[in-house]
Structure 1
């Protein structure tokens, strides 16, 4: 009789194991990450911390507290009054074994959720873990068995912290990439200014020698005097640009073939030849060159660019990353805002030529919606 009871207990545990695995799997909420991202919107930090490294001790602490709950038997709650084969001791043994099994299934789902966590799909991961917990509670209802609130809360916190850590790491990588690009840009500008200053100094020296010789011979040249004055002014401008890091060019450009009509990029460059920066942006990463609507020099281009970005912030294409510079706006709209801040604009081109786009669109496959 005892062997029969133990055999029945083993069989019951095997059935329970299969049922737990099946129920947890079937109860997992399969959510479309793309749909969830659209519904949830901008990522919000669950536990805002200063940098990515600050999340690591928090994660270690959560793991330690989770392990302590498991060790102390508080990770899963169950009834101690369940009997098996008319035996309370056997009932407790069966409850303990089933509790370990269900906790293992729950933890497997939690670990899988963390392992497969991607930027932005934290909502999906938490829903799946909630479904796993609900399935375990349903299976263990007879023995009042369920994952404890404390343990489930820690595992949810672990998912949130991991998601925050991934997002913060991504942001820091992007900031570092942008900082490297900024430093390269500043180094290039500094090099250009030095080269220009050297060229101006050389030209000024030659002019001074020529003017001196002409004056000595009694045949001064007014054109050379004007040229010398222009070079002196260019030297002053060069020195000002070198000393004032906020001076530069704010540009408004568009790329109809790449982004469609009604989209502009508002950016800043300190290059001596600002059009060179626009040409770089129209490199291999986009199918067509950008059209320039205006390139405006400002002694405080940093503030001017920031004010334009702030004005069109609600119309930014990328609402998740404010450092991107593309906006749903027509060139005319940007012109009006820019003019209200700086006064009259000497040059502003409202219509984009989009030459390469128009040369190409007629040769596109007929199945393409734009060409049909």
Structure 2
């Protein structure tokens, strides 16, 4: 009887040792897994930080691309009015992005489709805006001291031509957008006049 009990105890002790060994190995594996999880978590956090940093760096480029696609390239050199120019360009971007830089168009149906008509109006609006901005950029590039009135007239003629050529779409550059580009011309003209005055003072 005692021998059987001793054998049973021995069997139980071996079972306990096996369980303890299994638990020990499981604990080591769990520790290893937790370490790998912690490492992966740190790497993931670092990657997320790099992604956010890249997005933050990309945002200004995307904003600038809005202007470039519409034909605005910040060619003005009125550096002494930079804060005002930044405000002007910021509002221009808003008008372009919201579709408020060009007015008109109304409800147009093309080949029996309203959606096709809307796309056609959007394409024409983008084309007209780019044409107007191209003329505005030329006015800025060619502007000379004392030439503001001529540049304004040229820009006004461009807006009138766009309204006329848009035909049945009845598109026009919005008055607010025209005012912003005209103000940009004024700031650039003021800067050029200051430079000219400075040169005259030095020469005298």
2:139 corresponding residue in structure 1: 113
CA displacement at 1:119 relative to structure 2? 1.0
- TM superposition score normalised by structure 2: 0.58
1:89 corresponding residue in structure 2: 115
Higher mean alpha-carbon deviation, 93-102 vs 74-83, is at 74-83
Matches within 5 A, 1:179-328: none
CA displacement at 1:78 relative to structure 2? 2.3
2:153 corresponding residue in structure 1: 127
CA 110–53 in structure 1, closer or farther in 2 if over 3 Å, else same: closer
Choose which of 53, 75, 83 in structure 1 pairs with 2:101: 75
1:136 corresponding residue in structure 2: 162
CA displacement at 1:82 relative to structure 2? 1.0
CA displacement at 1:140 relative to structure 2? 1.8
CA 89–165 in structure 1, closer or farther in 2 if over 3 Å, else same: same
Partners of 1:53 and 1:170 lie apart in 2 by: 15
Higher relative contact order (CA 8 A, sep 6+): 2
2:178 corresponding residue in structure 1: 152
CA displacement at 1:79 relative to structure 2? 2.4
Structure (1 or 2) with the greater strand fraction: 1
Matched residue count: 127
Per-residue deviation, residues 326-365 of structure 1 (Å, max 9, x unmatched):
xxxxxxxxxxxxxxxxxxxxxxxxxxxxxxxxxxxxxxxx
- TM superposition score normalised by structure 1: 0.33
Alignment root-mean-square deviation, CA = 1.7
Structure (1 or 2) with the greater helix fraction: 2
Partner secondary structure for residue 95 of structure 1: helix
Choose which of 74, 84, 103 in structure 2 pairs with 1:58: 84
- Stretches of 4+ moved more than 6 A in 1? none
